[in-house]
Copies of this chain bind each other. A is one copy, B any other.
């Protein structure tokens, strides 16, 4: 079986932990592996690594690649030049499969940022879905509703099929009264956003129901790389797979998802899946509480001290603190939009940025300078690079460094420092077994991540 991971999600719902440049799927919310990595592992039960294709916006390409490389070097990531919702993303990825194999395989399409813990239940569901998909159905996995949620779309089922149901229709997010009705009627399911079917069936439906997408597919060229060409993608409408195909096709079947499922679409839903302490609190990091109940308190770096509050979410990150009411966490999106309209950096990036070789944290900046702490992991090195507008000054804090500056090599111990002049070719390397930590002081009239010329990079970023 082939698989598609849809990894185009943005970072508004779990802000400030998620960011524009570090969306939810990249976060490790319940264990070491991120949601993306967990999704990859789940699919790896059915598909070989090279048959799992992840599609994401080009701006997340590096981070997605970095995480998936830790799962398997055979992973494939397709980069969208701009966001176009799920229908064009799925169509282009199907086209990628078509160009790379002739088989009319089964395809399983899943979001990258949902939480499913019961792997066995998920596997059973896929098996059940496969039966109907073989018969020519496009199968959607329906989640049995447990309460009248108004934040999800619903799917109304009709008569039973061998391992599922024929779908009557997809319905929009309901109001509370309607949601309660759906719940009592019993034949409504939450739309879990997971689909499977034969590649050929998907193509038929795209051709019939979304020709403005389908007609552009044969121009796509994946022979050189896995990037979708801007000129082609730009012509496609921005539309979800639900609107484009699922709501219109008469080939839709539903199998009930036999595992747990949570879209982690808000801080409240994350709270719901977490282990609570005796006061009903979920506490992460450096936190102290006094008479606090049923709350989610998350500290990334500094101490968070809370007293006499109930049903609140408080999240601390390096550069933003968010506090809100537990049952209104959907309004976090409003805060995010407000900040975005003010062009706040806190919507874009974290202060700490991960790279293939380690990570860096911006510490302080002013006119003409920026300081960072940089951590280079053992046996890793930064690319050979130069900067046109800034000089750099490095001081080793921990570990040892090998610095290549023009044609010379310098071996630095903790406490040593070195200057890298403007335009000098240089590379910071850690050939040792311990982490290397340095302070970098950048000086120059123009200081930006884009002032970089890479000459050689062991992570393929030249």
**Which residues of A are at the interface with B, using a C-beta cutoff of 8 A?**
16, 288, 290-291, 299, 302-309, 312, 314, 316, 318-325, 328, 331-332, 334-335, 338-339, 342, 344, 346, 363-364, 366-369, 371, 373, 391, 393, 395, 397-398, 414-415, 417, 419, 437, 439, 441, 443
Contacts and interface: CB of A to CB of B under 8 A. Distances in A.
A303 B288 contact: no
Contact of A346 (B303, B367, B417): B303
Given A302-B319, A391-B415, 11 more contacts: A288-B338, A290-B335, A304-B321, A306-B322, A308-B331, A309-B324, A314-B323, A366-B437, A393-B395, A395-B441, A417-B419
A446 to B, nearest CB: 14
B312 A321 contact: no
A393 B415 contact: yes
**How many copies of the shown chain assemble into the complex?**
2
Q: Which 4 A-B pairs have the closest CB atoms?
A: A308-B325, A415-B443, A307-B324, A308-B328
Nearest to A302: B319
A309 B314 CA distance: 11
A318 B321 CA distance: 12
Nearest to A297: B323
A215 to B, nearest CB: 43
Given A305-B16, A334-B307, A397 B417 contact: no
A54 to B, nearest CB: 31
Nearest to A334: B290
Contact of A397 (B304, B369, B373): B369
A132 to B, nearest CB: 43
Contact of A309 (B325, B364, B391, B439): B325
B368 A414 contact: yes
Nearest to A324: B307
A400 to B, nearest CB: 13
Nearest to A392: B415
Contacts of A363: 363-364
Given A369-B397, A395-B393, A307 B325 contact: yes
Contacts of A16: 305
A214 to B, nearest CB: 42
A320 B305 contact: yes
Contacts of A439: 371, 439, 441
